[in-house]
Amino acid sequence: MSWEHVTLGQRVRFGTGQAASHLADEVERLGAQRVMLIAEETAPDVASEIEVAVRWTDVAPHVPVEIAERARKQAEDVDLLVSVGGGSTTGLAKAIALTTGLPIIAVPTTYAGSEATNVWGLTEASRKTTGSDDRVLPTTVIYDAALTASLPDELAIASGCNALAHCVDSMWAPRADPINQALAVEGIRALRGGLRRIGSVEGREQTLYGAYLSAVAFASAGSGLHHKICHVLGGAYNLPHAQTHTAILPYVLAFNTPAAPEAGTRIAEALGGDLITLYGEIGASHVLHGVPDVVEAAKLIMPSAPPSNPRPVTEDDLTALLAAASAGQLEWSRA
C-alpha cells in the first residue's frame, strides 16, 4: 500500500443535555472575551451560561456572499464565533473565519457534518463556490442529541441521509485512503442503526456519532461525484441541501458501484443490504425536485466532475442520472 493521510485536529465534546455547560467550559478554556453568537431565532438556547457580545440571526442556505459580507463586518471586534444550528449556520461561521481567522465553536442541531470539516462554500449569482482551508475548521464541536429532538422527522431523516452521502462519497473520492474508508464504513453502520431509531435518544446519539464519522472521512477524502453534483444543483437552483443529497445518493451509488465493486460490497455490508431498502424503512425520498432542465444542469455540473471518479463521467451520463432521479426511476443503471 502507498498513500498519504491527513487527520484534522479538533476537540469534540459529546453528551446529551450538556451543551450549555460544555459551551461555557470551552469559552473559558479559549479565554474568549467577546463572543459572536450565530444562530437563527428558532435555534435552541445553549448560550445561557456565557456572555454574548454580538448576536447574528440572518442565516440562509448555501451562504449567500452578501450575508457573509455583512456578518464579517459585525465580527470585527469579537474574538470567538459560536455557531448553533445546521449546516447553513456553521457555513456562515466558516465564511467569517475564512477572512478573519477567528476560531469557531460549533454546536450542531442537525446531522449536516460541516462542523467537522475544513470545507467552506459561498454562493453568488446562483453559482456555489467551495474550497478547503484549515482556518474554517471549528476549534471545538459540541454534540448534544437533545438539540436534534425538535427536528421534524422528514428533515432529520434527510439530514441523516446527507451524512450517509458523506460516507459513500468517501469510499471513492479523490483522496480516499484506507483510514477514511474505515471511518466511512463505521459511519454507515452507525447511521443505519441510528436512523432506524431516530425517534429515541439512543437513535439520535447514534446518528450524531455517525454524522461526525462521516464528516471526518469526507474532510480527508474530499468531494466525490455525488457532492459535486449536489453543490452545483444547490447553488444553481437554490435547492434544499439535505433533501437534494438524499435524492441523488442512490443514483450516484448505482452509477459508480460497477466500477468500484470492492467499495460497493463494503457499503452494502455496512448498510446490511441495499440503500433503497433502508430508504423504504426510514421514509427517505429518492426523488429529485426543483431541477427544471436536466440537460442544462448536466452542462453546469460537468466541469466539476472529478477526473478520479471510479467511472468516467460524460455529460450524457449526468443528464441520464438527473433524469432518472427527477423521475424516481430506481431501476436506472448505466452499468
Tell me what percent of the residues of the chain surpass a pLDDT of 70: 99
- For 60-77, what is the mean pLDDT? 95
What CATH number does residue 25 fall under? Answer: 3.40.50.1970
Final residue of a structural domain among 131, 148, 165: 148
Q: Across residues 227-242, what is the average pLDDT? A: 92
- Whether 102 shows a pLDDT value over 80: the answer reads yes
| In a domain? residue 223 | yes
Does some domain include residue 185? yes
Domain limit, last residue, from 115, 148, 181 = 148
- Which CATH number does the domain housing residue 162 bear? 1.20.1090.10
- 254 falls within a domain: yes
Q: Are residues 104 and 192 in the same domain?
A: no
SS (H, E, C) the chain: CCCCCCCCCCEEEECCCCHHHHHHHHHHHHCCCCEEEECCCCCCCCCCCCCCCEEECCCCCCCEHHHHHHHHHHCCCCCEEEEEECHHHHHHHHHHHHHHCCCEEEEECCCCCHHHCCEEEEEECCEEEEEECHHHCCCEEEECHHHHCCCCHHHHHHHHHHHHHHHHHHCCCCCCCHHHHHHHHHHHHHHHHHHHCCCCHHHHHHHHHHHHHHHHHHHHHCCCHHHHHHHHHHHHHCCCHHHHHHHHHHHHHHHHHHHCHHHHHHHHHHHCCCHHHHHHHHCCCCCCCCCCCHHHHHHHHHHHCCCCCCCCCCHHHHHHHHHHHHHCCCCCCCC
Residue where one domain finishes, among candidates 129, 148, 167: 148
Whether the Cβ atoms of residue 197 and residue 203 lie closer than 8 Å to each other: yes
Mean pLDDT for 166-193 is 96
Convert the pLDDT of each residue in 198-230 to its tens digit: 999 999 999 999 999 999 999 999 999 999 999
Please check whether residue 333 lies inside any domain of the structure. no
The mean predicted confidence, pLDDT, of the chain is: 95
Does 5 reside within a domain? no
Same domain? For 22 and 132 the reply is yes
Residues 250 and 138 in one domain: no
Q: Which pLDDT does position 333 carry in this prediction? A: 59
144-173 pLDDT, tens per residue?
999 999 899 899 999 999 999 999 999 999
**Mean pLDDT, rounded, for 32-51:** 96
Domain holding 264, by residue range, is 153-327
Q: Are residues 83 and 136 in the same domain?
A: yes
Tell me, yes or no, whether 132 and 229 share the same domain: no
Q: How many domains does the chain have?
A: 2
Tell me what the mean pLDDT of segment 178-190 comes to: 97
Question: Do 121 and 47 fall within a single domain?
Answer: yes
Q: Is residue 53 part of a domain?
A: yes
Residue 335 inside a domain? The answer is no
Q: Do 74 and 168 belong together in one domain? A: no
Identify whether residues 142 and 163 lie together within a single domain: no
Residue 81 lies in a domain: yes
